[in-house]
Amino acid sequence: MALLGALKTLNGLKREGVIRDYAICGGYAASYYLEPAYTYDLDILVLLDSDTDYHALYEYFRQRGSRIENVYIVVEDVPVQFLPSYIGPLFSEAIKKARRITVKGTRTKVITVEHLIALFLVSFRPKDKIRILELLEQADKRLLDEMLRRFEDEKTPLRQRFKKVLANLQ
C-alpha cells in the first residue's frame, strides 16, 4: 500500500522537525468519511510557520532525489500536495483539531468533517459541492455554522457559498 509508505515518511518528517504537524485533507479525507472515491493525489495540510519552512520542506525532498511534478512531490510513489497552514487560520485550526487515527499500525491524522466541509467551501469546485452535500449528514451543524462565521471573509463568503450548496438540494 503506497499510501502507508507516504504516511510513514510524513511521520518521519515530524520526528525530524521538518514540519511541526500534518493532517490528511482533500479526496482521501472525504473517502475516510464517505465511500471510497477516485482521487489522483494525497492532499496534506502541513503546520508551518512561514514560506521559508515551506521552501525547506521542498528542499528536503529535492536533496533526497524525490520527483517533483508540477505542484506535487512524489513520496513513495504517491503524488503529494502540501498545503501550508500559514495561508489561513482555518488551515492551522484544521490540523490542530484533526482526528488521530491508526491505519494498519501507522498513526496519522484526518481533519474533522466540519473542517473538510469548510475547506471544500474555500476551493468550491463542482465536485466539492457534491461532496459537501454527502458529508453534511455526519457534520455537527451548529459547530459548522460557528466555524463558517469565524473563518469567512469578503473574498471567501463561506456562509453564502454554503447556502448556495443547500439551495441545490431543493
39 binds another protein (CB under 8 A): yes
Contacts for 74 with CB less than 8 Å, ≥ 6 apart:
66, 67, 68, 80
Contacts for 89 with CB less than 8 Å, ≥ 6 apart:
151
Grid coordinates given for 50: 512561514
How far is residue 107's CA from residue 4's CA, in Å, rounded to a whole number? 10
Question: Quick one: three-class SS letters along 71-113?
Answer: CEEEECCEEEEEEEHHHCHHHHHHHHCCEEEEECCEEEEECCH
35 binds another protein (CB under 8 A): yes
38 binds another protein (CB under 8 A): yes
64 binds another protein (CB under 8 A): no
Query: Closest distance between another protein and the C-beta of residue 167, in Å?
Result: 22
153 binds another protein (CB under 8 A): no
Query: Closest distance between another protein and the C-beta of residue 40, in Å?
Result: 7
Grid coordinates given for 53: 519552512
State which of residues 10, 25, 26, 28 lies at the interface with another protein (CB under 8 A).
Answer: 28
How far is residue 25's CA from residue 45's CA, in Å, rounded to a whole number? 7
36 binds another protein (CB under 8 A): yes
DSSP-based three-state secondary structure for 34: coil
Q: Measured from the CB atom, is 16 or 35 closer to another protein? A: 35
Query: Closest distance between another protein and the C-beta of residue 107, in Å?
Result: 12
58 binds another protein (CB under 8 A): no
- The residue range among 32-40, 47-55, 124-132, 139-147 that interacts with another protein, by the rule CB under 8 A, is 32-40
- The residue range among 8-16, 33-41, 50-58, 144-152 that interacts with another protein, by the rule CB under 8 A, is 33-41
Name the residues that contact another protein, by CB under 8 A.
1-4, 28, 31-40, 101, 103-104
